[in-house]
């Protein structure tokens, strides 16, 4: 319960989750980022990038709170040039959503997929899969286990508007990076 409440302090809505995911992609050196959204980000929020990827050895601790690969010692804080380093965003998402990561470093023979729940790898662990260098983070069913937070969300169209705002802010400030937003819709009845 405590971790779910704490997650709500970091992740308020799909757009705040997206902000964290975009910053991770930019920190990874991505030059192309694709955001895919369904139901305003409530059902699906996915970010795919062509960044450096995540080392397979880092996947078991990827969603643990206060874990980061950006610091190895205290002195690294003085030279920090990334958006974040506290290791809270992915952990928070894993406490309030279904989180899956597919990643591949440039020198890896294949991509690796990992799913997380409550800050840890699920029973399946990591699995080899096909892929291209970079990372895809998929957040599904945001706030499925926190009904009060879910009820506080706006309509899917309003949440999608906030997703667009966040993406536009990063796109305007990082003209060296390609940003694409895809909105998936439910099929309309005939």
C-alpha–C-alpha distance, residues 67 and 86, integer Å: 7
pLDDT one-digit tens code per residue, 98-144: 999 999 999 999 999 999 998 899 998 899 999 999 999 999 999 99
**Complete edge-to-edge strand list for the sheet that includes strand 44-49:** 120-129, 111-117, 98-104, 134-140, 44-49, 32-38, 178-184
Question: What share of the chain has pLDDT > 90, as a percent?
Answer: 69
Retrieve residue 34's tokens. Answer: 């694709």
Average pLDDT in the 31-52 region?
97
Question: What's the pLDDT at 4?
Answer: 45
C-alpha–C-alpha distance, residues 15 and 153, integer Å: 11
149 compared with 176, residue with greater pLDDT: 176
Secondary structure in 3-state letters for 15-33: HHHHHHHHHHHHHCCCCEE
pLDDT at 21 over 70: yes
- The helix/strand/coil state of 34 is strand
pLDDT at 83 over 70: no
In the structure, what pLDDT confidence band is assigned to residue 80 with cuts at 50, 70 and 90? low
């Amino acid at each position: 319960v405590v971790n779910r409440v704490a997650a709500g302090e970091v992740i308020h809505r799909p757009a705040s989750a997206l902000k964290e995911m975009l910053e991770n992609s930019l920190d990874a050196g991505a030059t192309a980022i694709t955001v895919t959204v369904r139901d305003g980000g409530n059902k699906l929020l996915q970010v795919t990038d062509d960044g450096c990827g995540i080392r397979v050895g880092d996947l078991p601790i990827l969603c643990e709170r206060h874990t980061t690969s950006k610091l190895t010692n205290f002195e690294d804080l003085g030279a920090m040039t990334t958006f974040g380093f506290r290791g809270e965003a992915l952990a928070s998402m894993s406490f309030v959503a279904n989180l899956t990561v597919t990643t591949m470093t440039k020198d890896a023979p294949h991509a690796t997929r990992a799913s997380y729940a409550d800050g840890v790898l699920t029973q399946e662990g990591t699995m080899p899969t096909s892929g291209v260098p970079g990372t895809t983070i998929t957040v599904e069913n945001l706030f499925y286990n926190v009904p009060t937070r879910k009820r506080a969300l706006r309509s899917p169209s309003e949440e999608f508007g906030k997703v667009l705002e966040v993406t536009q802010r990063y796109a305007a400030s990082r003209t060296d990076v390609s940003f694409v937003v895809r909105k998936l819709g439910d099929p309309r009845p005939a």
